[in-house]
Structure 1
Amino acid sequence: MQERILADFGDDAVDLEFSYSERSGRALVRFVPDRMLTERVEEVVANALAIPLLPELSDCRSAALGDELACTLPAHAPGIYEPAELENPFWIVAKKVFNFYTTRLLMPMRLRPYWTAFNVAPLIFEGIRNLFQRKLNVAVLDGAAIGAALAMRDFSTAGTIHLLLDISETLEDWTREKSRKDLASLFAGDGKPVWVLRKGEEVQIPQENVAVGDLVVVRAGARISVDGVVADGTAMVNQSSMTGEPLSVKRGIGKEVFAGTVVEEGKIVILTEGVGDETRFAKIAQVISDSEAMKAEIHGQAIQLADKIVPFSFVLSGVIFVITRNWMQAAAVLMADYSCAIKLSTPLAVRSAMLESAYFGALIKGGKCIEQLSKVDAIVLDKTGTLTRAIPEVVDVCPVNGYSREFILRNAACMEEHFPHPVADAVVRKADEEGLIHDERHAEIEYILAHGISTTLGGKRMILGSRHFVHEDEGIDLDVADAQIKRCTDTGHSTLYMAVDNELAGVIALEDPVRDSAYRFIRRLENMGMRRIIMLTGDGEASARTVASELDIEEFYAQVLPNDKTELVDTLRAEGYTVAMVGDGINDSAALSHAHVGVSMKHGADIAQETCDVMLTSERLDSLIDSMSISGLVMKRIRRNYKFIVASNTLFIGLGIFGFITPAVLALLHNSGTVLTCAYSMRPMLPEQ
């Protein structure tokens, strides 16, 4: 939060610049140099934030830039961006084992049973509580196992089981925290102060006090802490943490840079556009952090199946006791359960996959999306902005019916500048290059989805859009422009049509080159076994055929409207395909939501990015391939984990039933297997690039 405040100090009014970071709990106040006002400013800040004055503001300091008061305020609960150092799990286990056996050694023999009963009582009560709630789950199983040991007066086994369950729970928490910390380390800043330009001079300020509009200076070897545009200088920037590409890229004036990337060579000045929680990295991190609300279906199925096994454990234990009359052998069945490892390893595997996919440039919005992505066998690709570079250029402007070239280009730019779309940007850019001033002289703009734009200029209705919109919907005669239209369409160029008062005024031809990586991307999809690869475009037949031919795409459709895209996706779903739709425009949003997996490009419209299930955070089409590979591998890993958990615990139960191992050893093996499964779940799925 940042704002300017006119503070009233009785006879004086002081202009203050106040900024406060909720995440870090730090406030910064800047004002005209006047040391006598410092104490008054402290009082204002303290009263405004409702905190004690002297203790909490004791860390305030004044800086050389005028008077600058930086205060550390009470800390908030640690969040994803403030990862604490994790203790080595070996020492965690060692301390618990040491404390357990030291206590037993030093405690009088008569007190040990009572001490053990006191420690295990919460687990027994938890089992009883679940039983009264008519739940027969793992908590009941654990309580029964410990209760059986106490009933046999085997306090040593009861205490050991409690220790192992405590260690297992602690290590489960550790693995969750490790996953969270890995996420934080990828997306958090390094916490170092940032150099910004103030009145032409470089000044160092805390990272959390950087605001939108600041000019941030970054030199070789430093990490970029903000999202923004290069305002000055040139540098080689390593964007591997954002895009997955190992080679640094050149970034000069006008180019975007992102928080979390590193300047390897050179020096740049960045005009800040996003800070803190508003950076692209922070938003990606938040999506991954919140993703547990979108559990994979296989996760729910595994947990349900695991809980269903619990009653059979009790039945089997009873049968063993009836046959053997041996409490120890009957209790052995209760010492191992299947759901403990499943409940932990599955979400850890999913989260690790999301984190790895984000590293390779594709943000997956939850476990459900991963599961669907692993099954995709039909993909629908929007041409413009997906297979093409999304930076089309105006290559020709053809006026007709007495209108001038300048009139067409100027007014087209005036209408298009309201809409964030690659084609609109191309028209506006061309007008700017030719020095055409496109001031607001028209009435309110009306956007007609996937058709075009309509407005009123000088009492005349003006429209700009596709051939379908202008000719078929509006009924405007295009015969007068046959030669110009043919000249554009025969070369595969896209066309925009402008009409004024039901009369064609001109045609604008645009060229959008195919991405360099598009051909390889299509071939990789084929190699993955994709059954259907379909290209859609709102452009004419000639333009669509040119791109399809260049990329060797056999199935394509031209002059497609939004409802046509949605109908195609629905048709594919009805035919049994698992469909991914890749698009970037407002007109793609409906199809994105209808597909099993909607994929939006980095430059996509806000509604497309909101609707999608997967968002590519870089221009790499291969990021989608990587995310599909990761999704397939993590689903295999989850199924492999499930087989291992069932097989190993069944083996342990069998050994316990036949008396080869004691209940305490069985509990040790079971919990050790859980920890190993979790560690395996967090391993990377793709090799480092």
Structure 2
Amino acid sequence: MSIVRSIPGRIRFEADSEQAALYCKDSLLAEFGDDFEEAEFYYSERSGRGLVLFEKDRQLTDKAIGVMAKALKTSLVSDLPECRSAALGDENACGLPALSNGAYEQDELENPFWIVAKKVFNFYTTRLLMPMALRPYWTAFSVAPLIFEGVRSLFQRKLNVAVLDAAAVGSALAMRDYGTAGTIHLLLDISETLEDWTREKSRKDLASLFAGDGKPAWVLRKGEEVQIALEDLVVGDLVVVRSGSRIPVDGVVADGTAMVNQASMTGEPLSVKCSVGKEVYAGTVVEEGKIVILSEGVGDQTRFAKIAQVIADSESMKADIHGQAVKLADKIVPFSFILSGIIFAITRNWMQAAAVLMADYSCAIKLSTPLAVRSAMLESAHCGALIKGGKYIEQLSQVDAIVLDKTGTLTRATPEVVDICPVNGYTREFILRNAACMEEHFPHPVADAIVRKADEEGLEHDERHAEVDYILAHGISTTLEGNRMILGSRHFIHEDEGVELAGAEDQIKRCTENGLSTLYMAVGNKLAGVIALEDPLRESAYRFIRRLENIGMKRIIMLTGDGEATARNVAAELDIDEYYAQVLPHEKTELVDRLREEGYVVAMVGDGINDSAALSHAHVGVSMKHGADIAQEACDVMLTSERLDSLIDAMSLSKMVMRRIKRNYRFIVGSNTLFIGLGIFGIITPAMLAFLHNSGTVMTCAYSMRPMLPEQ
């Protein structure tokens, strides 16, 4: 049992039982109190791993690690008798929700309308059936936790929303207005229930987008179809999926043809035809046909598992406006007490003074903002853009300059070798065979194209060279029969390595005159040939650029490591005015930094290793689904489909949610100012004031949860 990994606000740990994990939770709460009251704890019995998410603070994290390490070392199952009989896999057996390897509980959540209706029904039914003499005691018992919470905050020298809520309820009790006290407690409970429901709904909906139905999978073993549990699937299994079934693995179709609904991954409502060689993903559904899939990703390694983990991690990445809302809510509290005191000093009327406490601004502000942000994150995920934290929603809404890496973003990332130009006595076969031998070591679209071309032509490329070295953003090098062999860009070959290109101008021109991308091969400091590749543009690329212009993007910049002719042709085809050719990784980062210094809010879209630095320097880094692992790690938004329009949807959602939050502010301030005024002048009673205020809070929360994009 130990700490596995930690960053500020997030600690992943290993524990041999759920009881030990709960012991960790209790230890943290006992040590830090309020600092961990809002923390979230998860534990997976199957993997033996847990996760703690809390306020992003380095010093607090370091202290928490020490407490957890001690708790993990000393915890014993016998210390927790209440958990001895916990059922294996029961996520609530010890009070800890499961942290699955990409699979959350799939039980249906109850409709929030019925949750609220039941609370209201139970509240008023209990009051109606309870003897009048017992109602004050029942009310006092019900609101006691709320009052204790406020008192505890006061002892900790905090004047926050909890204190204000306790004061409002306490004032009602002091005036013997037990109905008002109970109503305040009921409506506060409903507001918090809606927030909890939305958080859980977002997680479960994301899971339902991708997760299987829990049914066993069918696999081929020795030519026979065998049914096995999902957790027993391994890479290399041949998985059989028929009509109406979910695909349980990521992989490639090895046999058969089927129509697969990939809406959960791509956002596209129409099913696509998947035959031999086509990639398919866990969580998508076979609508018609039967396919056999060679599994390449199972369990934690499926795309869904990685996405689900990002969502789990994103809980600690609150939007700045979320944090501002919480701080603003707490800052308003003292003014509510001051105003209440002034009213009492003037009127000597407790009822009018209490009116200020009955209707405050802070509760609705604190609850509605995170609800709106979480709802937007969920809706964006449905549209194919996974936003890794609430704070990036705010930044996306302000983006006014976008930098696009050409290869893999505006192009399909499936280049093809269209020409090979040998020079200086080398043969076409020599160039292709040895280029494939070098490139097969690297999972990159260009490398795949060269290896694929060699395979198509039946060229065997057995290794006869030394170890291959990758030189970031330039090329690769090795040694063949004592001679250094290099393959890469013109800049790498000619300027960095000093290989002369004189005498090969005609062959180079033949490969570059049509704007094709080129790779140069040199052996022993002598040019051996040029490989020309074509990477077709995405069909949606032109529309994507126009949509960016339509939403008011001030700067649209295309970057590429290709030559000037290729960049110029692509820019002309897409009608992009600003582009840069032969760009190196540090130059991409410098461009992003320069745009930031000029006052732009910058989004960088890329998918390669050489894009990762620029992605992390941009206000918002965006990676494509096929991007390199480091690019997906460095990005803030990951497109889970090939739809470039998913990024537009995410930007639109971000702007809409910011407008919604501002509308919420205006409504909260306007309505509560009106309610307080009516209460001060005695036009409405404190009971009615509390009812109107808390009803407005519930309405604001419900409005924050509504979808924003129109149904497609």
Q: Tell me the TM-score normalized by structure 2.
A: 0.84
For 1:549, the equivalent position in structure 2 comes to 572
SS where residue 253 of structure 1 aligns? Answer: coil
The C-alpha deviation readout for 1:143-181, integer Å capped at 9, x for no partner, is: 111222233233343333333333433343333333333
1:517, distance to aligned residue in structure 2 (A): 1.1
For 1:126, the equivalent position in structure 2 comes to 149
For 2:90, the equivalent position in structure 1 comes to 75
Answer yes or no: is the 8 Å Cα contact 1:228–1:272 preserved in 2: yes
1:93, distance to aligned residue in structure 2 (A): 4.0
Aligned 1:402-417 pairs, distance under 5 A? 402-417=425-440
1:533, distance to aligned residue in structure 2 (A): 0.9
SS where residue 244 of structure 2 aligns? Answer: coil
CA distance in 1, matches of 2:646, 2:449: 26
For 2:358, the equivalent position in structure 1 comes to 335
Supply the AA of the counterpart residue of 2:320.
Answer: E
1:472, distance to aligned residue in structure 2 (A): 0.4
Answer yes or no: is the 8 Å Cα contact 1:288–1:354 preserved in 2: no
For 2:316, the equivalent position in structure 1 comes to 293
SS where residue 127 of structure 1 aligns? Answer: helix
For 1:243, the equivalent position in structure 2 comes to 266
Aligned 1:512-527 pairs, distance under 5 A? 512-527=535-550
1:109, distance to aligned residue in structure 2 (A): 4.9
For 1:16, the equivalent position in structure 2 comes to none
For 1:474, the equivalent position in structure 2 comes to 497
Distance 1:345 1:431, change over 3 A: same
Distance 1:323 1:567, change over 3 A: same
The C-alpha deviation readout for 1:12-45, integer Å capped at 9, x for no partner, is: xxxxxxxxxx96869xxxxxxxxxxxxxxxxxxx
Out of 402-411 and 162-171, give the one that drifted further: 162-171
SS where residue 418 of structure 2 aligns? Answer: strand
- Alpha-carbon RMSD across the aligned residues, in angstroms, is 2.3
The C-alpha deviation readout for 1:185-216, integer Å capped at 9, x for no partner, is: 32332223322222212223333433322211
For 1:148, the equivalent position in structure 2 comes to 171
CA distance in 2, matches of 1:189, 1:319: 60
1:332, distance to aligned residue in structure 2 (A): 1.3
Out of 220, 245, 248, the position equivalent to 1:197 is 220
Supply the AA of the counterpart residue of 2:173.
Answer: L
SS where residue 616 of structure 2 aligns? Answer: helix
Distance 1:249 1:23, change over 3 A: farther
Out of 588, 596, 612, the position equivalent to 2:611 is 588
Aligned 1:272-287 pairs, distance under 5 A? 272-287=295-310
1:638, distance to aligned residue in structure 2 (A): 1.5
Supply the AA of the counterpart residue of 2:328.
Answer: L
For 2:196, the equivalent position in structure 1 comes to 173
Q: Confirm or deny that 1:457 pairs with 2:480.
A: yes
1:112, distance to aligned residue in structure 2 (A): 4.1
For 1:56, the equivalent position in structure 2 comes to none
Q: Confirm or deny that 1:323 pairs with 2:346.
A: yes
1:81, distance to aligned residue in structure 2 (A): 1.9
**Structure 1: gaps (5+ residues):** 1-21, 27-49, 52-71
Distance 1:178 1:510, change over 3 A: closer
CA distance in 2, matches of 1:274, 1:437: 29
For 2:460, the equivalent position in structure 1 comes to 437
1:106, distance to aligned residue in structure 2 (A): 5.6
Answer yes or no: is the 8 Å Cα contact 2:258–2:274 preserved in 1: yes
Supply the AA of the counterpart residue of 1:610.
Answer: E
Q: Confirm or deny that 1:357 pairs with 2:405.
A: no
1:541, distance to aligned residue in structure 2 (A): 0.8
For 2:336, the equivalent position in structure 1 comes to 313
For 2:409, the equivalent position in structure 1 comes to 386
Q: Confirm or deny that 1:558 pairs with 2:581.
A: yes
1:623, distance to aligned residue in structure 2 (A): 1.4
Out of 319-328 and 522-531, give the one that drifted further: 319-328
Distance 1:409 1:130, change over 3 A: same
CA distance in 2, matches of 1:401, 1:212: 46
CA distance in 2, matches of 1:460, 1:225: 48
Aligned 1:627-642 pairs, distance under 5 A? 627-642=650-665
Out of 636-645 and 199-208, give the one that drifted further: 199-208
Q: How many residues align?
A: 626
Out of 458-467 and 119-128, give the one that drifted further: 119-128
CA distance in 2, matches of 1:542, 1:108: 88
Out of 466, 486, 493, the position equivalent to 2:509 is 486
SS where residue 276 of structure 2 aligns? Answer: coil
Distance 1:100 1:359, change over 3 A: closer
CA distance in 2, matches of 1:316, 1:210: 65
Q: Confirm or deny that 1:224 pairs with 2:239.
A: no
Answer yes or no: is the 8 Å Cα contact 1:442–1:457 preserved in 2: yes
For 1:43, the equivalent position in structure 2 comes to none
The C-alpha deviation readout for 1:119-149, integer Å capped at 9, x for no partner, is: 3333222212212222111111011112222
Q: Confirm or deny that 1:399 pairs with 2:414.
A: no
* Percent of residue pairs bearing the same amino acid type: 84
For 1:30, the equivalent position in structure 2 comes to none
1:105, distance to aligned residue in structure 2 (A): 5.3
CA distance in 1, matches of 2:563, 2:292: 43
For 2:451, the equivalent position in structure 1 comes to 428
Q: Confirm or deny that 1:373 pairs with 2:396.
A: yes
Distance 1:377 1:255, change over 3 A: same
Distance 1:84 1:24, change over 3 A: farther
Supply the AA of the counterpart residue of 2:401.
Answer: A
Q: Which has the larger radius of gyration?
A: 1
Answer yes or no: is the 8 Å Cα contact 2:194–2:701 preserved in 1: no
Distance 1:324 1:83, change over 3 A: farther
Supply the AA of the counterpart residue of 2:560.
Answer: T
SS where residue 212 of structure 1 aligns? Answer: coil
CA distance in 1, matches of 2:632, 2:208: 25
SS where residue 504 of structure 2 aligns? Answer: helix
CA distance in 1, matches of 2:632, 2:282: 19
Answer yes or no: is the 8 Å Cα contact 1:336–1:653 preserved in 2: yes
Answer yes or no: is the 8 Å Cα contact 2:319–2:389 preserved in 1: yes
1:363, distance to aligned residue in structure 2 (A): 1.3
1:462, distance to aligned residue in structure 2 (A): 0.9
Answer yes or no: is the 8 Å Cα contact 2:199–2:374 preserved in 1: no
Answer yes or no: is the 8 Å Cα contact 1:332–1:663 preserved in 2: yes
CA distance in 1, matches of 2:271, 2:622: 26
Distance 1:288 1:108, change over 3 A: same
1:100, distance to aligned residue in structure 2 (A): 4.1
CA distance in 1, matches of 2:135, 2:288: 66
Q: Confirm or deny that 1:665 pairs with 2:688.
A: yes
Q: Tell me the TM-score normalized by structure 1.
A: 0.86
Q: Confirm or deny that 1:185 pairs with 2:208.
A: yes
Distance 1:658 1:557, change over 3 A: same
Distance 1:289 1:187, change over 3 A: farther
Distance 1:172 1:536, change over 3 A: closer
CA distance in 2, matches of 1:263, 1:626: 26
Distance 1:266 1:126, change over 3 A: same
Distance 1:344 1:179, change over 3 A: farther
Distance 1:143 1:75, change over 3 A: closer
Aligned 1:205-220 pairs, distance under 5 A? 205-220=228-243
For 2:637, the equivalent position in structure 1 comes to 614
